[in-house]
Amino acid sequence: MQTIQHVFHGFDWHQTLSSFWVLFAVIDILGSVPIIIGIRRRTGRIDTNKTTVAVGAIMLSFLFLGQSLLDIFSIDMASFSVAGSIVLCILALEMVLNISIFKIEVDSESASIVPLAFPIIAGVGTLVALLALKADYAHINILCAMFANVLFVYATLRCSEWIERTLGSLGVSIVHKVMGVVLLSIAVKLFRTHFFL
C-alpha cells in the first residue's frame, strides 16, 4: 500500500491535464496523418506497434535522460533544435512540392522508427517540452500525460487508413500540402529561434 502511495505521490489532475495538452500540441499526431499516409504508401505498411513502442521509449528517454544525453555528446539544445529543424524542413518540402528528398529505401519496420517515430512524432519539440515540464511538474503527472498521448498516437496510426478513405485522395492531397506549409513554418521558426541565439 505504501509503495502505491509512493508511486502516486504528487499526483495532480491539473498538472496531468496541462502536461497532456502541451505534449498533444507539440506531438501534433493529427497534423502528421498526411506524413503517415505518405510513408505507408512508400513502404507498403507501417508497424503500428513498433512505432508506438518507439515513441513511448523516446519520450521516456527524453524525460529522464534528455539533458544528460545531450551533455554526453557536448550538444547544446540550440544545436539539437537546428538539426531537427533541418530534418523537418526537408520533410515539409517533400509534402509541399510533391518530391522525394528523404529516400526511404528500407523496410517498413525501419521506416516505422526513423523518420516516423523520430523525428516526426517524438522530435525536438517533444524533448524541449518534456524538459520544460520536468522543471515545474511532478514526474507522475508527466508520465500519465505521456501515456495518454502514446495511446492517442496508437489509435491515430491504427485509423490512418480509415482517415485516408474518409478524406479521399483529393482531401488527403490538400491536407498534405497545407500541413507541409505548416511544418515548414515550424521548421523555420525553430531554426530562427535557435540559430540566431
Residue span of the structural domain in which 77 resides: 12-39+46-195
Cell of 99: 518530391
In a domain, residue 78? The reply is yes
pLDDT at residue 56 greater than cutoff 60: yes
In a domain, residue 1? The reply is no
The pLDDT score that the predictor gives to residue 7 is 47
Question: Do residues 113 and 104 make contact, with C-beta atoms less than 8 angstroms apart?
Answer: no
In a domain, residue 5? The reply is no
pLDDT at residue 59 greater than cutoff 90: yes
Cell of 175: 491536407
Q: How high does pLDDT run on average in the chain?
A: 81
Q: How far apart are CA 36 and CA 175, in angstroms?
A: 12
Q: Tell me: the pLDDT tens digits for 138-161?
A: 999 999 999 999 999 999 999 988
Find cell 538539426 and name the residue.
83
In a domain, residue 23? The reply is yes
In a domain, residue 6? The reply is no
Of the chain, the percentage scoring pLDDT greater than 70 comes to 89
pLDDT at residue 109 greater than cutoff 70: no
Q: How far apart are CA 151 and CA 156, in angstroms?
A: 9
Q: Which long-range contacts (CB under 8 A, 24 or more apart) does 135-139 make?
A: 137/15, 137/18, 137/19, 138/9, 138/10, 138/11, 138/12, 138/15, 139/10, 139/63
* pLDDT classification of 104: cutoffs 50, 70, 90: low
What is the tally of structural domains in the chain? 1
In a domain, residue 4? The reply is no
Q: How far apart are CA 158 and CA 144, in angstroms?
A: 21
In a domain, residue 179? The reply is yes
